[in-house]
Amino acid sequence: MKTYLVTGGAGFIGSNYIHYMFNKYKDTIRIINVDVLTYAGNPENLASLETNENYIFIKEDICNKDAMHNIFKQYDIDRVVHFAAESHVDRSIRNPQVFVNTNVMGTLNLLDAAKCAWETEDGYKTDKKYLQVSTDEVYGSLEEEDSYFYESTPIDPHSPYSASKASADMIVKAYMDTFHFPANITRCSNNYGPYQFPEKLIPLMINNALLGKKLPIYGDGKNVRDWLYVMDHAKAIDMVMEQGKLYEVYNVGGHNEKQNVDIVNIIIDTLASLLPDSDSRKAHVNKDLITYVEDRKGHDRRYAIAPDKIKSEIGWEPETMFAEGIRLTIEWYLNNNEWMEHVTSGDYQKYYQEMYK
Ligand code: NAD
Ligand code: DAU
């Protein structure tokens, strides 16, 4: 039985990945989820696994070096999938410090603990691998139409968030280049799907529309993101882990570029079509809610991934068409009102007031 150490598994992508893995491998794997439970970490995302004896939750900070080493001493870990991070660009503009601590120093701690545990006299124990979950934002912004991010595109981050993720990638690269540490890096585009915290564009717009609140679009709304359904990302991570060539970087993208304003319009139309006439919220879900607000500082104009390498070397492709993925996502939020109420009580209200005042 393989033992996975997943960091940040109580967050959006991490929890979807853990569900994907248990659905696929059933009781042939064990997953240890290390998560300090920041505002973005939510044990409710994994409540259905409480009785699964192959799932172990450890509430711990990846910045705690001794704790990371102890986990590797306690368990014989075969795979590390490193999701834990501060992940929201707007928050990084307001408070960069925590991004560098978690995303850079936390990554270094984890690498160091894995390297110590896996090293032998002449290399590493067999069949061990570390996967760094990175982002297309490390490549910066595409200004020209028909240009794409390739693995060979120079790193050119702009926000404190993307700079911290790029720094983490460089530390992983240093471990691969200097110590031949067995690792891969994946760089993915914007994910959407269930369990995403409503500070990000899609769940924020769904929640606001249902509450009849304004839908705040930054700048002219024409910034482009390349959207990928989160379960397709989970599958890509698993495939890179098992089939990826050691030391390689793989871009993961949805072939699905959309302007922000188009995303918001699709959300309004889909909500309006899914809500029954008897639901009182249906009356206020309309385009009058759209409001253009001050632009994000340093707002990257366009992201678009060329996932050619992962397709040709590994055979992964995005499977979920956006029309289907957004319907599944909106249905999930409609069916999980309590989840939304829990994550938007307390600190979220303060964040929202300060951010959108
Ligand atoms: P998220 O913010 O939803 O979840 C992050 C998780 O990490 C939370 O559970 C949080 O509690 C945990 N965490 C934060 N700091 C920690 C610390 N110091 N120690 C332990 N746990 C800590 O993030 P997400 O959107 O799920 O993103 C996961 C990863 O994927 C991140 O590394 C992010 O950079 C990357 N990524 C995200 C996207 C996207 O569209 N969301 C796209 C590409 C890459
Ligand atoms: O590209 C991958 C990245 O995607 C990940 O690495 C990040 O962790 C993830 O947060 C995401 O970053 P973005 O900044 O692209 O995502 P966000 O949902 O914050 O914003 C998407 C776009 O929508 C962006 O152009 C800003 C815009 N936006 C966002 C919010 C929250 C708005 O116009 N209004 C909003 O209220």
Q: Domains (ranges, CATH) in the chain?
A: 2-193+230-255+300-320 (3.40.50.720)
Closest-lying ligand 1 atom to the alpha carbon of residue 101: 18
CA count, 13 A, side-chain hemisphere, 178 = 9
Pocket test for ligand 1, best of 6, 13, 20, 188 (most atoms within 8 A of CB): 13
For residue 138 and ligand 1, the question of a CB distance below 6 A is answered with no
Whose CA is closest to 159, among 95, 216, 109, 110? 95
Q: Ligand 1: distance of its center to the CA of 87 in Å?
A: 5
pLDDT tens digits, one per residue of 245-278: 999 999 999 899 999 999 999 999 999 999 999 9
> Which pLDDT value is given to residue 250?
98
pLDDT band at 313 (very low <50, low <70, confident <90, very high): very high
With a cut of 90, say whether residue 341 has pLDDT above it.
Answer: yes
Q: Which whole number is the average pLDDT over 314-342?
A: 98
pLDDT band at 145 (very low <50, low <70, confident <90, very high): confident
With a cut of 90, say whether residue 124 has pLDDT above it.
Answer: yes
Is 156 strand, coil or helix? Answer: coil
Q: Whose CA is nearest to atom 13 of ligand 1?
A: 84
> Which pLDDT value is given to residue 357?
86
Closest-lying ligand 2 atom to the alpha carbon of residue 201: 18
Whose CA is closest to 248, among 191, 314, 305? 314
Q: Ligand 1: distance of its center to the CA of 91 in Å?
A: 13
Whose CA is closest to 71, among 114, 41, 30, 36? 114
H or E element that contains 207: helix 201-211
Q: Which whole number is the average pLDDT over 124-135?
A: 98
Whose CA is closest to 274, among 288, 262, 285? 285
Closest-lying ligand 1 atom to the alpha carbon of residue 106: 18
DSSP 8-state secondary structure symbol assigned to residue 245: P
For residue 239 and ligand 1, the question of a CB distance below 6 A is answered with no
Is 119 strand, coil or helix? Answer: strand
- Please give the structure tokens belonging to residue 307: 């996932």
Q: What is the dihedral of CA 16, 313, 250, 77, to 10 degrees?
A: 60
Q: Ligand 2: distance of its center to the CA of 117 in Å?
A: 36
For residue 188 and ligand 1, the question of a CB distance below 6 A is answered with yes
How much of the chain, in percent, has pLDDT values that exceed 70?
100
Q: Ligand 2: distance of its center to the CA of 243 in Å?
A: 30
Could you tell me which residue, 16 or 145, shows the higher pLDDT? 16
Residue reference for tokens 């991490």: 14
Residues shown for the chain: 357
Ligand nearest to the CA of 290: 2
Residue reference for tokens 């005042």: 357
CA 139 from centre of chain: 16
pLDDT band at 230 (very low <50, low <70, confident <90, very high): very high
